[in-house]
Amino acid sequence: MSNREKSYNEDLEWIHGLGRFGIKPGLERITALLEHLGNPHHSLHFVHIAGTNGKGSTAVMLASMLRTAGYEVGLYTSPYLLSFTNRMSVNGADINQDELIELVGLTRPLVEKISSDPMLGALTEFEVVTALALTYFARREVDLVVLEVGLGGRLDATNVVTPLLSIVTNVSLEHTEVLGDTVEKITAEKAGIIKQDRPLLTAAEDPLVVAVLKQRCQMLNASFNRVYFSKDGEADLPVDKPYAVLKNISEDGQYFSYRGYGLQLENVFIPLRGAYQVINAATALAAVELLEKEGFPVASESLRKGLSSTVWPGRLELLDRAPLLIMDGAHNPKAIEKLSEALPSYFSYKKLILVIGMLADKDTAAMLKHILPLADTVIFTRPVLPRAADPAELAAFAADHFNLQKEHYTIEEHGAALEKALQLAGPEDAVLVTGSLYTVSDIRSYYERRLRKEEV
């Protein structure tokens, strides 16, 4: 192992060690850290994206279009899929190990100093990673940063920025122990990213969500902008609001049309599957139109090329055929519900072998309710994470509550779970890996090593 690899691994160990401090909503600690770093975020322009589902997909499509138009674009997302460096990128290229080592060397003494202050307490992993990313983007002098919220919005560490545009993709029940036990309370937390006199864009459909967002916009003199979507044509869509209409789908992606504030596009292709991805793409397109008012124009050809070249692994991703190997990081009931609707529409198969691993702090009962009916065989496994749900307990719960009589297995180790699924699947069958992006990350990494014939 080289000295650089050793330093990089040691830095990652230190960063992940901060995870023991858990989730601590509040902006005091990261504000103090950023002040010590010279407030790098003050020199940057942001699009800030919150939402229960779809915020990462919207972020990556928006960043791809802006990058294709020639802008220097920073992208911050979480969690990572294959490598920690996936968390922060510029123009589609992840931060490299040397840059990360240098930033950690700069930041670590400041983190330790602030964490020793009893008035502030220890900084969390997400707070430190956010500060690293903001410092990195400032050093690279990017034109725009597309910034994904970690949890909620109002007290999320990313909410130290004043963006050109705020986006709330959608809202449903999630993290109720932190964000509140009703959709209205959770929406109020996500609406915390809306800033005075700055526009909001949303694709939310729930009237309760829309009402809370509108109220927040009125309080802050922020314009309220909403995107609409239809699978069935344009008849019931508003003529004066941005909307998208799904046209054609296949295993390779889908086509849609878009009508915006002035922009009109036909037969736009995205290599992402699921009708919800069309909603996310339309949100990204509407965001581009709103950003044009802020001095960031994008030609229509760059919009098409940016969307068609979007890469976003682990989201209804097809990794192999005969049998189909599909991976989707659906991690909450609404995401699993959308996955369950999309899967038989976009893929043809005889039998479905489901490999599922979830986190214990999710609504596992609601998730199983949506996905189990699609499966012919179920393999319960575990992502490599302390918060992982016990697969044996999941299997027992499914047997007790959903009368799980179909063939099923409990295989703790994720690589062995995939091998069993591939063994069971015939060439006309499908293997679906889902339940958590962490599960997808673990199994996708295993599968790539398997393809390279490395020791697994």
Sign of CA dihedral 76, 301, 53, 390: negative
The single residue listed with the structure tokens 């293997």 is 431
Q: State the chain's mean pLDDT as an integer.
A: 95
Strand pairing partners for 325?
320, 431
pTM confidence score: 0.94
Residues 228-287: tens digit of each pLDDT: 999 988 878 998 899 999 999 999 999 999 999 999 999 999 999 999 999 999 999 999
Residue 455 predicted with pLDDT over 70: no
* Confidence band of 207 (pLDDT split at 50, 70, 90): very high
The domains of the chain, with CATH numbers, are 3-308 (3.40.1190.10), 317-451 (3.90.190.20)
% of the chain with per-residue pLDDT over 90: 87
**How far is the C-alpha of 329 from the C-alpha of 86, rounded, in Å?**
16
Residue 193 predicted with pLDDT over 70: yes
Q: What is the pLDDT of residue 344?
A: 94
Residues 397-442: tens digit of each pLDDT: 998 888 777 899 999 999 999 999 999 999 999 999 999 999 999 9
Strand pairing partners for 327?
317, 433
- The mean per-residue pLDDT over the stretch 169-196 comes to 91
* CB under 8 A, 24+ apart: contacts of 213-219: 213/168, 213/187, 216/188, 216/191
